Amino acid sequence: MKEFQYQRAGDVRGAVALLSADPEARFLGGGTNLVDLMKTGVERPARLIDIRRLPLDRIEPTGDGGLRLGATVTNSDLAAHPEVRRRYPALAQAVLAGASGQLRNMATVGGNLLQRTRCAYFADLSKPCNKRVPGSGCPAITGEHHNHAILGASAHCVATHPSDMGVALTAFDAIVEYETAEGPGELPLADFYLPVGDSPHRETALPPGALITGVVLPPVAVAAHSRYRKVRERASYAFAIGSIAAALDVRDGIVHDVRLAFGAVASRPWRARAAERLLAGGPADADAFAAAADAELAAARPLADNAYKVTLIRNLVVSELATLAQEGTR
């Protein structure tokens, strides 16, 4: 690991000032991804600014009936929070489906959004990777890519975003709040991750030097009736090969409101708006669920070894919406 300076930030403005003063500085949250990447040399910061003791560790109601999640709230505290479990159950389930108990006690909301892909080529300094070394190439496209993207990828990068939490946050229209030297700002999570295009090394629309201070969950009535389902290659403690956050409100057999987002299929959590549009106002039955999944997945461009994900996601949409519809009519 490269040597680095370490400073503990006392307040948000101070943290932002410390980062702005050194282009080679990084914020340290739980460290579960950054420290790991520093050990392998993928990340080589000259300075760490520890933000874990900033007063951003609270979950608070917003004036309009939503919730504000502080950036340093741990995954564990998020998933244990009664209001999260009551009003956004798919979010609690998504967080609980990620990592291990130990890692959830360390990892934070802000860090979860900024974690890097687990593409093996990104982590291997002996291999080219356009995300790590722009212009060096993408060996995954012709190589090992069974868990890579089927949606929104480009000829430059087919890596997926590994977050479970982010999938549920995307389904519920979360907004990322941040602070810069120029003052505070916010970004809808839908606009937070940049399209891959020819610059996969540029991952987010956060301004340079910004510190994520929190994530706001707007009041979303349908979220109280939601589920997260994750498929992985072992029963626990593994990244998804496909996942879904789904919320459904059915009234008199007609879809009154629906939210759908997919994980492990794209460079960002994938909001399935085409599917949602097709479902809204229509019948809540298996044919409609399958047609909606097909509409969303029409844009899929699978690689040689990951076409199974198209079927996997389609099946997840049908089964999870059917479960939610059934629960709603009990």
Interface residues with other proteins (CB under 8 A) are 1, 3-6, 28, 31-32, 35-36, 38-39, 48, 50, 52, 76, 79-80, 82, 85-86, 89, 92-93, 96-97, 99-103, 105-106, 235-237
In angstroms, the CA 317 to CA 323 distance is 10
Least spacing, CB of residue 19 vs other proteins, in Å: 17
- For residues 91 and 172, the answer to whether their CB atoms sit within 8 Å is yes
Report the side by side order of strands in the sheet with 242-251: 226-231, 242-251, 254-263, 270-271
Least spacing, CB of residue 33 vs other proteins, in Å: 9
> Per DSSP, which regions of the chain are E strands?
5-8, 25-28, 47-50, 59-61, 67-70, 175-180, 183-188, 211-217, 226-231, 242-251, 254-263, 270-271
- For residues 198 and 157, the answer to whether their CB atoms sit within 8 Å is no
Q: Which is nearer to other proteins, 59 or 292 (CB)?
A: 59
Question: In DSSP terms, which residues pair with 187 in a beta bridge?
Answer: 176
Q: Which is nearer to other proteins, 28 or 297 (CB)?
A: 28
Q: Which is nearer to other proteins, 1 or 286 (CB)?
A: 1
Least spacing, CB of residue 8 vs other proteins, in Å: 8
Long-range pairs of 307-310 with CB within 8 A, sequence gap ≥ 24: 307/150, 309/150, 309/241, 309/242, 309/264, 309/265, 310/150
Q: Which is nearer to other proteins, 126 or 236 (CB)?
A: 236
Q: Which is nearer to other proteins, 36 or 294 (CB)?
A: 36
Q: How does DSSP assign 97-121, residue by residue?
A: TSS-HHHHHH-BHHHHHHPPP--HH
Residue type, 318: V
Least spacing, CB of residue 281 vs other proteins, in Å: 28
Q: Which is nearer to other proteins, 94 or 278 (CB)?
A: 94
Least spacing, CB of residue 247 vs other proteins, in Å: 14
Q: Which is nearer to other proteins, 40 or 136 (CB)?
A: 40
In angstroms, the CA 129 to CA 124 distance is 9
Least spacing, CB of residue 256 vs other proteins, in Å: 21
Least spacing, CB of residue 277 vs other proteins, in Å: 29
Q: Using the 8-state DSSP alphabet, how is residue 206 labeled?
A: P
| Residue located via tokens 């809808």 | 188
